Amino acid sequence: MDLQLRNISHSYGPVEVLRDISLDIPQGQIVCLIGPSGCGKSTLLRFLGGLEQPLSGQVLQLGAPPADSLNPLTYVFQHFALLPWRTVEGNIRLVLEDHGLSRREMDQIVTDVLARTRLSEFRKALPKQLSGGMRQRVAISRALAVRPAVMLMDEPLSALDSQTRELLMDDLVALWIRKPFTSVYVTHNLNEAVRLGHRVVVLSRRPGQVREIVDIDIPLSERHLGHPALEDRQAHLWDLMRDEARAADQELLDG
Protein backbone atom coordinates (compact mmCIF):
# COMPACT_ATOMS: atom_id res chain seq x y z
CA MET A 1 0.00 0.00 0.00
CA ASP A 2 1.36 3.41 -1.02
CA LEU A 3 0.48 6.70 0.67
CA GLN A 4 0.22 10.07 -1.03
CA LEU A 5 -0.12 13.59 0.30
CA ARG A 6 -1.61 15.98 -2.22
CA ASN A 7 -1.55 19.77 -1.74
CA ILE A 8 -1.82 19.62 2.05
CA SER A 9 -2.18 22.98 3.79
CA HIS A 10 -3.13 23.57 7.40
CA SER A 11 -3.42 26.30 10.00
CA TYR A 12 -4.14 26.39 13.71
CA GLY A 13 -6.12 29.57 14.06
CA PRO A 14 -4.01 32.40 12.63
CA VAL A 15 -0.84 30.26 12.58
CA GLU A 16 -0.14 28.70 9.19
CA VAL A 17 1.66 25.41 9.84
CA LEU A 18 1.86 23.70 6.44
CA ARG A 19 1.57 25.01 2.88
CA ASP A 20 0.90 22.95 -0.25
CA ILE A 21 2.70 19.72 0.70
CA SER A 22 2.69 16.94 -1.90
CA LEU A 23 4.60 13.76 -1.17
CA ASP A 24 4.67 10.06 -2.15
CA ILE A 25 5.45 7.26 0.32
CA PRO A 26 6.15 4.14 -1.78
CA GLN A 27 5.61 0.68 -0.39
CA GLY A 28 8.75 -0.85 1.09
CA GLN A 29 10.60 2.41 1.71
CA ILE A 30 11.49 4.36 4.84
CA VAL A 31 10.78 8.03 4.18
CA CYS A 32 12.31 10.39 6.76
CA LEU A 33 10.88 13.83 7.48
CA ILE A 34 13.27 16.46 8.81
CA GLY A 35 13.06 20.20 9.28
CA PRO A 36 13.29 23.00 11.84
CA SER A 37 11.31 22.90 15.07
CA GLY A 38 7.65 23.77 14.52
CA CYS A 39 7.66 23.10 10.77
CA GLY A 40 4.76 20.63 10.91
CA LYS A 41 6.48 17.22 10.75
CA SER A 42 4.37 15.62 13.47
CA THR A 43 1.24 17.28 12.10
CA LEU A 44 1.86 15.60 8.73
CA LEU A 45 2.25 12.28 10.54
CA ARG A 46 -1.12 12.77 12.24
CA PHE A 47 -2.73 13.45 8.87
CA LEU A 48 -1.20 10.28 7.44
CA GLY A 49 -2.52 8.27 10.38
CA GLY A 50 -6.00 9.77 10.22
CA LEU A 51 -5.75 11.29 13.71
CA GLU A 52 -6.45 14.74 12.30
CA GLN A 53 -7.76 16.17 9.03
CA PRO A 54 -6.03 18.94 7.05
CA LEU A 55 -7.90 22.12 6.22
CA SER A 56 -7.15 21.51 2.54
CA GLY A 57 -5.62 18.78 0.42
CA GLN A 58 -5.93 15.00 0.40
CA VAL A 59 -4.31 12.00 2.05
CA LEU A 60 -4.61 9.01 -0.29
CA GLN A 61 -4.09 5.29 0.32
CA LEU A 62 -3.33 3.47 -2.93
CA GLY A 63 -3.64 -0.29 -3.08
CA ALA A 64 -4.72 -2.72 -0.40
CA PRO A 65 -2.84 -3.40 2.84
CA PRO A 66 -1.38 -6.91 3.28
CA ALA A 67 -4.05 -9.57 3.60
CA ASP A 68 -2.94 -10.41 7.16
CA SER A 69 -2.75 -6.78 8.31
CA LEU A 70 -4.73 -6.17 11.50
CA ASN A 71 -4.13 -2.42 11.46
CA PRO A 72 -2.96 -0.79 8.20
CA LEU A 73 -1.43 2.24 9.95
CA THR A 74 0.22 2.11 13.35
CA TYR A 75 2.36 4.47 15.41
CA VAL A 76 5.62 4.27 17.32
CA PHE A 77 6.09 7.33 19.52
CA GLN A 78 9.02 8.93 21.33
CA HIS A 79 7.57 7.81 24.66
CA PHE A 80 7.11 4.08 24.94
CA ALA A 81 3.51 4.15 26.30
CA LEU A 82 3.88 0.70 27.87
CA LEU A 83 1.49 -0.39 30.60
CA PRO A 84 3.72 -0.81 33.68
CA TRP A 85 1.61 -3.62 35.19
CA ARG A 86 1.78 -5.75 32.05
CA THR A 87 4.74 -7.88 31.04
CA VAL A 88 6.50 -7.48 27.70
CA GLU A 89 4.29 -10.23 26.32
CA GLY A 90 1.19 -8.63 27.83
CA ASN A 91 1.94 -5.22 26.33
CA ILE A 92 2.26 -6.73 22.87
CA ARG A 93 -0.81 -8.91 23.33
CA LEU A 94 -2.86 -5.79 24.22
CA VAL A 95 -3.03 -4.62 20.58
CA LEU A 96 -4.23 -8.06 19.45
CA GLU A 97 -7.06 -8.55 21.93
CA ASP A 98 -9.83 -6.85 19.92
CA HIS A 99 -9.20 -8.64 16.63
CA GLY A 100 -11.02 -11.88 17.27
CA LEU A 101 -7.86 -13.99 17.32
CA SER A 102 -7.57 -17.24 19.19
CA ARG A 103 -5.12 -17.55 22.07
CA ARG A 104 -2.95 -19.76 19.87
CA GLU A 105 -2.89 -17.19 17.06
CA MET A 106 -1.94 -14.43 19.50
CA ASP A 107 0.80 -16.60 20.99
CA GLN A 108 2.25 -17.22 17.53
CA ILE A 109 2.29 -13.51 16.67
CA VAL A 110 3.85 -12.52 20.00
CA THR A 111 6.51 -15.22 19.71
CA ASP A 112 7.34 -14.12 16.16
CA VAL A 113 7.75 -10.40 16.92
CA LEU A 114 9.73 -11.08 20.08
CA ALA A 115 12.13 -13.21 18.05
CA ARG A 116 12.41 -10.53 15.34
CA THR A 117 13.28 -7.86 17.93
CA ARG A 118 15.53 -10.13 20.02
CA LEU A 119 13.33 -9.94 23.11
CA SER A 120 12.28 -13.59 23.47
CA GLU A 121 14.02 -14.10 26.79
CA PHE A 122 12.36 -11.01 28.26
CA ARG A 123 8.75 -11.87 27.46
CA LYS A 124 7.83 -12.20 31.16
CA ALA A 125 9.69 -9.06 32.27
CA LEU A 126 7.93 -5.87 33.38
CA PRO A 127 8.82 -2.56 31.72
CA LYS A 128 10.55 -1.30 34.89
CA GLN A 129 13.00 -4.19 34.57
CA LEU A 130 14.11 -3.09 31.08
CA SER A 131 16.47 -0.41 29.80
CA GLY A 132 15.12 2.50 27.75
CA GLY A 133 16.33 0.91 24.54
CA MET A 134 14.65 -2.38 25.35
CA ARG A 135 11.40 -0.64 26.23
CA GLN A 136 11.45 1.02 22.81
CA ARG A 137 12.07 -2.37 21.21
CA VAL A 138 8.92 -3.57 22.98
CA ALA A 139 7.04 -0.60 21.48
CA ILE A 140 8.36 -1.54 18.03
CA SER A 141 7.38 -5.17 18.63
CA ARG A 142 3.88 -4.05 19.55
CA ALA A 143 3.63 -2.07 16.31
CA LEU A 144 4.88 -5.02 14.25
CA ALA A 145 2.36 -7.35 15.91
CA VAL A 146 -0.58 -5.82 14.01
CA ARG A 147 1.29 -6.33 10.70
CA PRO A 148 0.84 -2.74 9.56
CA ALA A 149 1.05 -1.63 5.97
CA VAL A 150 2.83 1.53 7.19
CA MET A 151 4.58 2.32 10.47
CA LEU A 152 4.38 5.99 11.44
CA MET A 153 7.35 6.74 13.68
CA ASP A 154 7.46 10.05 15.56
CA GLU A 155 11.01 10.63 16.85
CA PRO A 156 11.13 7.10 18.29
CA LEU A 157 14.78 7.30 19.36
CA SER A 158 15.04 10.90 20.54
CA ALA A 159 14.64 10.09 24.25
CA LEU A 160 17.57 7.65 24.19
CA ASP A 161 21.29 8.15 24.66
CA SER A 162 23.54 8.12 21.59
CA GLN A 163 24.87 4.58 22.12
CA THR A 164 21.36 3.15 22.50
CA ARG A 165 20.21 5.08 19.41
CA GLU A 166 23.00 3.48 17.37
CA LEU A 167 22.02 0.01 18.57
CA LEU A 168 18.35 0.57 17.80
CA MET A 169 19.17 1.90 14.34
CA ASP A 170 21.04 -1.38 13.79
CA ASP A 171 17.91 -3.20 14.98
CA LEU A 172 15.63 -1.29 12.59
CA VAL A 173 17.97 -1.93 9.67
CA ALA A 174 18.07 -5.64 10.50
CA LEU A 175 14.27 -5.75 10.73
CA TRP A 176 13.90 -4.05 7.34
CA ILE A 177 16.47 -6.32 5.67
CA ARG A 178 14.72 -9.40 7.02
CA LYS A 179 11.27 -8.22 5.96
CA PRO A 180 11.03 -4.81 4.23
CA PHE A 181 8.40 -2.52 5.68
CA THR A 182 7.05 0.92 4.84
CA SER A 183 7.60 3.74 7.29
CA VAL A 184 7.31 7.50 7.62
CA TYR A 185 9.94 8.46 10.16
CA VAL A 186 10.00 11.92 11.78
CA THR A 187 13.33 12.95 13.30
CA HIS A 188 15.47 15.95 14.23
CA ASN A 189 18.57 13.77 14.02
CA LEU A 190 20.31 13.97 10.64
CA ASN A 191 22.40 10.88 11.37
CA GLU A 192 19.19 8.86 11.84
CA ALA A 193 17.78 10.29 8.62
CA VAL A 194 20.73 9.29 6.44
CA ARG A 195 21.20 5.95 8.19
CA LEU A 196 17.59 4.81 7.84
CA GLY A 197 15.93 6.79 5.07
CA HIS A 198 15.60 5.68 1.48
CA ARG A 199 14.37 9.23 0.92
CA VAL A 200 14.80 12.25 3.18
CA VAL A 201 12.22 15.02 2.87
CA VAL A 202 13.48 18.41 4.04
CA LEU A 203 10.77 20.81 5.19
CA SER A 204 11.20 24.57 5.47
CA ARG A 205 10.46 26.48 8.65
CA ARG A 206 6.84 27.35 9.33
CA PRO A 207 4.76 27.27 7.25
CA GLY A 208 6.35 23.96 6.31
CA GLN A 209 6.94 23.39 2.60
CA VAL A 210 9.03 20.76 0.83
CA ARG A 211 12.44 22.31 0.23
CA GLU A 212 14.12 19.24 -1.20
CA ILE A 213 13.78 15.46 -1.37
CA VAL A 214 17.13 13.69 -1.06
CA ASP A 215 17.29 10.10 -2.35
CA ILE A 216 19.83 7.84 -0.65
CA ASP A 217 20.54 4.87 -2.90
CA ILE A 218 23.12 3.18 -0.64
CA PRO A 219 21.74 -0.20 0.52
CA LEU A 220 20.74 -0.14 4.19
CA SER A 221 23.04 -3.09 4.86
CA GLU A 222 26.06 -1.03 3.77
CA ARG A 223 25.33 2.09 5.82
CA HIS A 224 27.53 2.50 8.87
CA LEU A 225 28.88 5.20 11.14
CA GLY A 226 31.52 7.19 9.28
CA HIS A 227 30.45 6.09 5.78
CA PRO A 228 31.87 8.90 3.55
CA ALA A 229 28.85 9.13 1.23
CA LEU A 230 26.45 9.26 4.20
CA GLU A 231 28.54 11.99 5.81
CA ASP A 232 28.32 13.96 2.55
CA ARG A 233 24.51 13.57 2.50
CA GLN A 234 24.31 14.61 6.15
CA ALA A 235 26.43 17.71 5.48
CA HIS A 236 24.16 18.59 2.53
CA LEU A 237 21.06 18.25 4.71
CA TRP A 238 22.57 20.50 7.36
CA ASP A 239 23.50 23.09 4.72
CA LEU A 240 19.82 23.11 3.69
CA MET A 241 18.56 23.43 7.26
CA ARG A 242 21.13 25.48 9.18
CA ASP A 243 19.87 29.03 8.69
CA GLU A 244 16.20 28.09 8.88
CA ALA A 245 16.77 26.01 12.03
CA ARG A 246 18.35 29.03 13.73
CA ALA A 247 15.52 31.29 12.60
CA ALA A 248 12.87 28.79 13.74
CA ASP A 249 14.47 28.45 17.18
CA GLN A 250 14.52 32.23 17.52
CA GLU A 251 10.84 32.42 16.54
CA LEU A 252 9.98 29.88 19.23
CA LEU A 253 11.98 31.84 21.82
CA ASP A 254 10.19 35.03 20.79
CA GLY A 255 6.82 33.30 21.20
Same domain, 104 and 136: yes
Phi and psi at residue 104, to the nearest 5°? -65, -45
Considering the domain architecture, whether residues 38 and 27 belong to the same structural domain is answered as yes
State residue 15's pLDDT score: 92
Domain end: 132, 148, 164, which one? 148
- How far, in whole angstroms, is CA 90 from its chain's centroid? 23
d(CA 189, CA 152): 16
Q: Per-residue pLDDT for 200 more than 90?
A: yes
165 and 143: one domain?
A: no
Does a structural domain hold residue 48?
Answer: yes
d(CA 77, CA 140): 9
Please state, in angstroms and rounded to a whole number, the distance separating the CA atoms of residues 175 and 140: 10
- Phi and psi of 206, rounded to 5°? -55, 135
CA 155 to CA 157: how far, in whole Å? Answer: 6
CATH at 201: 3.40.50.300
**Out of 21-35, 47-61, 65-79, 119-133, which region has the weakest mean confidence (pLDDT)?**
65-79
Same domain, residue pair 39 and 95: no
Instruction: Mark whether 121 and 197 lie in a shared domain.
Output: no
Asked whether residue 72 is assigned to any structural domain, the reply reads no
Amino acid at the residue 71? N
Backbone angles phi, psi at 142, to 5 degrees: -65, -40
Q: What sign for the dihedral angle of Cα 226, 231, 237, 238?
A: positive
What pLDDT band is residue 245 in, cutting at 50, 70 and 90? confident
Q: Pick the last residue of a domain from 148, 168, 189.
A: 148
Q: Which residues span the domain enclosing 197?
A: 2-65+151-254
Do residue 155 and residue 216 come from a single domain? yes
The 10 Å Cβ neighbour count of residue 204 is 19
At 209 the pLDDT is: 95
Do the domain assignments include residue 20? yes
Cα(16)–Cα(40) distance, rounded to whole angstroms?
10
